[in-house]
Structure 1
Amino acid sequence: MKFFLGYLRNHYRIGGTRLVFLSLFRLVCSLIRFYSYKIVGLKGKASFIGQNFKIDFPSGLRFNGGSKIGNNVKIVGRSISISIIGPQVSIGDFSIIFLSSSSTSFGNGFEIGSGSACAEYCIFGAAGGLKIGSNVIIGQNVRIHAENHEHSNKHIPIKEQGVNRKGIIINDDVWIGSGAVILDGVEIGSGCIIGANAVVTKTTDQFGVYAGSPAQLIRYR
């Protein structure tokens, strides 16, 4: 592949820029990747699927058109219901969506609404259920965890006490800054801004601006 791309760069140039042919070649590769997943059960339509995209259970995911999946994106595990990636959604390179906490368990569902986008290296833990609304902006390295370890019994190792799940809802028109962490049981109100590196442990008000660890209300928009 690298040899072929190098050949194209050297032989198909106009005015020092790459020809449209190279873009078309990449588009064709993306379409081939997408339809190879369609064969094994992936539902809906995506306009672009990047290189090294991996999904454990293609039949458990539905695209709603015009979505873009970046390079090296992984969708791990499975849910009790069909997971939905809405129209015009963009998932950044190297992001991971954990539909469940293990390959033998089922999560409570994942959905991301129309026009929403996340940058690179985001982690979505959707075991307890994760619903992201429309037109949500998510910065790099954001981590969302819809599951928590039980730890009430001091006489049993935490790893043996199991987990609890409440789920996370992120409503429409939210902006989540780079490095933020959203913990289980939280609902982020419509129009909120979550500052970079904030740790959100409680439900937020609509149109609030939050920052810090734990995140605190700074002001309203």
Structure 2
Amino acid sequence: HQTILKGYHAGTMRIGDGAWIGQQCFFHAAGDLTIGENVGVGPGVRILTSTHREAGRETPILHAPLDFAPVVVEADADLGVGAILLPGVTVGRGAQVGA
């Protein structure tokens, strides 16, 4: 299946009943991730809940501070093949996201 669910001590990941998750997805829950009931997640979907802040040209990106923001996918939504959700996104109930 090769899907990665990456958790962190400060963040939570909740996946609702009836959710379907395709192959080779990557879920990053440092900033909280909620996937509602009966959500479809197509193969190759990426969900990120943190990003490195720009810290100037002298600071390598790996040493830059992180900003965290939750991602919420409400019930009955569908994330199409290869879709990418970035920190702070909410996908509404029944919405469809294409790649």
Aligned residues: 99
Query: CA separation in 2, counterparts of 1:152 and 1:192?
Result: 35
Give the SS at the match of 2:62: helix
Q: Please report the TM-score for the alignment, with normalisation by the length of structure 1.
A: 0.43
Task: Give 1:117's aligned amino acid.
Answer: W
Q: Which has the larger radius of gyration?
A: 1
* Aligned residue number for residue 73 of structure 1: none
* Aligned residue number for residue 117 of structure 1: 20
Instruction: Give the drift of 1:189.
Output: 0.8
* Aligned residue number for residue 62 of structure 2: 159
> 1:128-167 counterparts in 2 under 5 A?
128-167=31-70
Task: Give 1:191's aligned amino acid.
Answer: G
* Aligned residue number for residue 98 of structure 1: 6
Task: Give 1:97's aligned amino acid.
Answer: L
Q: Which runs of 5+ in 1 are unaligned?
A: 1-92, 101-105, 198-221
Query: CA separation in 1, counterparts of 2:37 and 2:55?
Result: 37
CA deviations on 1:86-118 (whole Å, 9 max, x unpaired) are xxxxxxx11110002xxxxx2310000011111
* Aligned residue number for residue 72 of structure 2: 169
**CA RMSD, aligned part only?**
1.1
Query: CA separation in 2, counterparts of 1:174 and 1:147?
Result: 22
- Structure 1 stretches of at least 4 aligned residues deviating more than 3 Å after TM superposition: none
Give the SS at the match of 1:159: helix
Task: Name whichever structure is richer in helix by fraction.
Answer: 1
RCO comparison, higher one (Cα < 8 Å, 6+): 2
Query: CA separation in 2, counterparts of 1:147 and 1:135?
Result: 25
Q: Please report the TM-score for the alignment, with normalisation by the length of structure 2.
A: 0.93
Farther off after superposition, 116-125 or 151-160? 151-160
Give the SS at the match of 1:151: coil
* Aligned residue number for residue 81 of structure 2: 178
Query: CA separation in 1, counterparts of 2:80 and 2:94?
Result: 13
Query: CA separation in 1, counterparts of 2:54 and 2:17?
Result: 37
Query: CA separation in 2, counterparts of 1:152 and 1:185?
Result: 20
